[in-house]
A and B are shown apart, each in its own frame.
Chain A
Amino acid sequence: MRSDQVLKRIRRTGWISDAAAWPDIGDQDLLDEFNDRYLALMTDEIVEARAGFGLKKFPIVCTPGVARYPVPGRTIGGGWDALQISTTSATTFEPLDRIEARDVWMYSSAVSPGMPQRYCVQDDNVEIYPPPVSSFTLLYWYYQCPSDLVFQQSSTDNGGVVRGLISALNKTARTFTAIIPFDMSLVAPAAITTAVQLVDIVRGSGNFPTVAYSLTQSFTGTAWTIGGTQSLDDVQNGDWVRMVGQTDWPMNTSKEHHRMLCDRAAMEILREVGTPEDAAALALTVGADQQRFRGIRRPQVKNAPKMIPCRSVLTRGKRRGGIYS
């Protein structure tokens, strides 16, 4: 469901169909409500379900002797999934074991660089132990925070203008052709600038994922060149290049659940305009839809990252179980 279609549904459900009659509940206000509720709902559902929707991997080359590396900035809070390391090449990765901060002392002091075995998440960083002795490649696995839904530029419907449709894709040369998209977060949306903003490449179907993200770019006219080394394997002709963090469709959610999200946003509108009775009535529908949504997602849960607590040396041998027991 495109963002203009989302807006229509929010207005209809919120009894504010005539946008002109509700000038202080503008489209951006509705999108803000939608995004806020979407984030609140979907991060919960994604992280809890860990069903792979929105799961991203991000490679980073270690610096020998340096143990601390930042977590990718678009990770959902609590959406950290796993860390892997490649010892010989960037194609075969071995998992690192996560340890708790209380156990770090066992691995971090007076340890010479070597082959990292474990890691600990500290704030928005990970520390690997022991520090890498060589330029190994670390591979982050994390649940990506959904991009903001912005007013669409993928259709001429409802005042839209088509921009950013990828064609003539050359993954090797990392080039494609597309009309320059706008940064829709601006009060007066304007075209992005070559070699300035990062871009995402999003898909306008399925679960509406981000197939490549936070890419550096340059373009001349409609001829684009993508920088960096991030794989473009998932990118297809027909995908859309967008300002980083922006999308035309509710990300990582299939179309059948979009209406639920619209209704959830409409509940906020109904409450704001002073008709809590309507909001309460709509909450019943939204609640039921949310249950169904969960019902669909939860059975797909494979395995949550296994928490293997690291026992304190002071208590070693006094507890049963665990690999160190």
Chain B
Amino acid sequence: MRYPRTDIVNPLGLVTQKNQYGQYPNGALRTCRNFVARNPGELLQAPDTQNLINWTANDHTLQKLFPLDSSHTYSFSNTGTTWLIRESGSATAVPTLFTATSLFSATGRISPVRARERMIVNTLKGALVADFMAPTSLAERTFRQAGLPQPHWIRTSTFPNTTTTDAGALSANTMVGYAVCFARKFADGYTVRSAPTPILKVNVVVLSNYRQIVMWNQNDGLIAGDVIEVYRTDGLDTLNNGNPMVRLDPGQTLKRVQSYVLTSADIAVGSVTLVDTVSYELGTRITPGTELYVNPFQEGPDFSNDQPPIAACLANFKGYTFYARTTERPIWEFGCPGGIGAEVAAVAQGLTSTYHRAYSLGQHGNVNGTSTTGLATITGVAAASFIGLDIGQQINTAGGTLWPNGTAILSLNSGTGVITMNQNAISGAATGWTFDEVIELNGTVFRYIDLTQLIHALGQDVGNTLVTAADQAKWEIAVDSAVPYVVQFAFLTNPTVVILPGRTVYAPASFTVRGSNGGRYSPPIPTMTQTAQTISASVRKNRICWSKFQEPEHCPAALETFAGFGEIIALNATRDALWIWCTDGLRRMSGDGGADGLGFRIDDVDTTLILSAPQASTVFDEVLYGYTNVGFVSVDSAGNKTNLSDTVVGNLLPGTKYVETRSIICAANETDSEILLGLGEDVNGSSDVIWIYNVVTKLWTQLAQNAASLSNITAMAMMRDPSAGEPRLLFGVSPLGGGNPSYSEWNSAAAFLTAALEYQPVMGDGPLTLCQFSWADYLFAVATANGKQIVPTWNGSTHGIATVVDMQNAGYARGGCPRAASRAHSIVPGFQSLSGTPQSRFQGLSLVMSGKSNKGKKR
């Protein structure tokens, strides 16, 4: 018998927003739970998860998953400020100063990338690197800080005229410049090289081999096998070029004269003494060797291999690694209007002692007075000698024979001519005392005679045993281009000096500074009796910088720009664009970097399109997807925006304003062309519902109401290289409440979720015509649901059980309409509890009714 009043209602996926006529399109679904829309015209029972990886970390929230090779996956979880990094089921290790406390962002800013077969992940203390993509031991799961630190370079105490028994490599009466950098070459050929030290000019008086002491901090992460590269300029004839020495310029073209491989013993000591034995080319003062990479006509001085900054977003694009929303290390920049250097050097260069005492920083000498054994005073000091002395300055201790090392001025009384020290004299003496200037950085006092020795002091405060190993060599120093070279023992007039923590991890937020004669700095700093000044890090929310080409850990100062005027929320890279989500719109960076890495441009794409959260975007098939303030959108490479939720599920996915939260997560299932979105609607910010948009069929479905392994979802990631099978998506879940986090693989096993769906109201014969609905035949692809039992629902209520029976060409299940709902203008058919294997393919629903006008209408 033919039923002229039969509706065939193919499922269209979720359509929850009425059209302009107040109705839903035929086949619109009100709920579509645990289905995926991978085939046209049918819904597939969604796969279940398998291979659960969990670990005992009560109440940890799994914030990020990052799959690598052969199913190896890094996960980042926290409870409060305590963080844990796991590699699959195994523990990892981080550098000493990267303590687990407040290591990562808890608001969705963990943004690892894979570059040069390494994982680089941003932390709140700087970038970390994992060098193995399929680690098998704790050693291989041990992170290191990205890049190598600038070495701290220091002379010997007998510099400059130290002569060894060697015949000598450098001609007498020449000036050369030295610079040093670290390098590490990995087994796979990947090389990391540090920024070079500032150039130190050395005046060679007699034929000599020259020694340099290279220092590093114990937390710099150097390991045996790392290389110290020593570079030297060509020599400059000092006899025929006149004085003063400070004016002579040996140039900036440095060539490698030594590569020293660090040993474990060196690492334990924290420094190494190197001897330059490379002679000039015969008959010249030309230094032979490979040029330093920042030489003129090489990459240039603006392209030193600075370590990556603290950044909130990372992405790879065109061979470059981008770091956005950066926090720059706190920087203390100062000038010295009265000059800096030893009084004796100033006098030697033509200034007067009176001038030095009145205005200059550095060692003050010729303070005549008498000390007494066992007393802390120096008496008989002339009033004029008090000028330039300041509390905190440290006395020359004669190698610790007259005063204990580090003895400093406690008080000054020019009226009585008494200087009171903070320690008692070891041995009394009547002599001309010298006092060294001090600065205190982050509570550690460093003494210096001149700028050269300030560098040395920051490396190792000679004679001051109060400086611990942990505080040695942790500061970088640079001098402005007006005085491009730091000259040994020279008095420098008004150089501009920059001091900053050598690595981000040493002082990511701020450091404090004060010093003797603080008023002589420009701008002034507090004296040693005043409260120290805090120098804060600079958060540049709209700054984006990037690495050198294929050198993800080398981030020169030249490679930076700004995107908009707000804050960068996230980065997503496609083939032709790096998409920059900002709080003031979406921007696109394009270009390929050119020869110098500067060949990029940023264009505004949509100044009103704002991403809802840092992890609310993803990329698939060269199209950008994101949950934004206007809903769920796609943006193609040309910048064309399409709102995928509006008019379909726009009432449920209306979009939200930007919130700094981890809760909204988005990922692409690259195998099945699906974009998955979780809104973190659960109380702990996790997602029990995952929205799925299939970019091929353009249909929406959901994962919902699932067991523990697929609820409280807090992370999603595509695993492209599982140990077996096809690429698959990972779901990370965080039940909290005493539960442990875990993650598992989706779409990889012949196990499927319990599915359910409901149509939107189906009109019998228009919204005002009463019909009697008889039953629904649920149609499945043959051999996909035979024997399965589903629970039909009508108007949201379950009613009976319908068993799927395979006919020749399809599987059918029939559910009778309940009397209470049968006579109505419309009805909401559906079903629940489609479970088990194989994967069922629901193809439609035939709704039988009577009372409809017989127009031969067939939908």
Contact = CB atoms under 8 A, between A and B. Distances in A.
Given A23-B800, A278-B1, A273 B817 contact: yes
B850 A21 contact: no
Given A22-B775, A25-B816, 16 more contacts: A18-B814, A20-B801, A21-B800, A21-B815, A21-B816, A23-B800, A24-B820, A274-B774, A274-B823, A274-B849, A275-B3, A275-B848, A276-B850, A277-B1, A277-B3, A278-B1
Interface of A: 15-16, 18, 20-25, 272-278, 281
8 contacts: A21-B803, A22-B800, A23-B818, A24-B800, A274-B817, A274-B849, A275-B848, A281-B1
Contacts of B772: 274
B775 to A, nearest CB: 7
Nearest to A269: B816
A268 to B, nearest CB: 13
A272 B803 CA distance: 22
Interface range for B? 20 to 34
Q: Which 8 A-B pairs have the closest CB atoms?
A: A274-B772, A22-B816, A20-B801, A23-B800, A274-B774, A21-B802, A274-B850, A273-B774
Nearest to A25: B816
Contacts of B801: 18, 20-21, 23
B464 interface: no
Q: Taking each of A15, A16, A24, which has the highest tally of chain B beta carbons within 10 Å of its own beta carbon?
A: A24
Contacts of B818: 23-24
Given A273-B775, A274-B772, A275-B774, A24 B850 contact: no
A25 B803 CA distance: 16
Interface in B808-827: 813-820, 822-823
Contacts of B817: 273-274
Nearest to B790: A21
Contact of B789 (A20, A22, A23, A273): A20
Per DSSP, chain A at the interface is loop
A15 B849 CA distance: 14
Contacts of B816: 16, 21-25, 273
A18 B812 CA distance: 12
A274 B800 contact: no
Q: Which of A20, A25, A278 has the most CB of B within 10 A?
A: A20
Instruction: Determine the main DSSP class of B at the interface with A.
Output: strand
B792 interface: yes
Contacts of B789: 20
A16 B817 CA distance: 11
A25 B774 CA distance: 12
B773 A20 contact: no
Interface in B824-859: 848-851
A18 B799 contact: no
B773 A274 contact: yes
B288 to A, nearest CB: 92
Contacts of A281: 1
A121 B815 CA distance: 52
A23 to B, nearest CB: 4
Contacts of A276: 850
Contacts of B848: 274-275
B803 A23 contact: no
- Which of B774, B789, B816 is packed against the most chain A CB atoms within 10 Å? B816
A18 B802 contact: yes
Interface string B596-633: 00000000000000000000000000000000000000
Contacts of B849: 274
A23 B822 contact: no
B774 A24 contact: no
B799 A24 contact: yes
A167 to B, nearest CB: 40
Nearest to A19: B800
A274 B1 contact: no
Nearest to B800: A23
B514 to A, nearest CB: 84
Contacts of A24: 799-800, 816, 818-820
Nearest to B821: A24
A275 B799 contact: no
Contacts of A16: 816
A22 B3 CA distance: 20
A25 B799 CA distance: 11
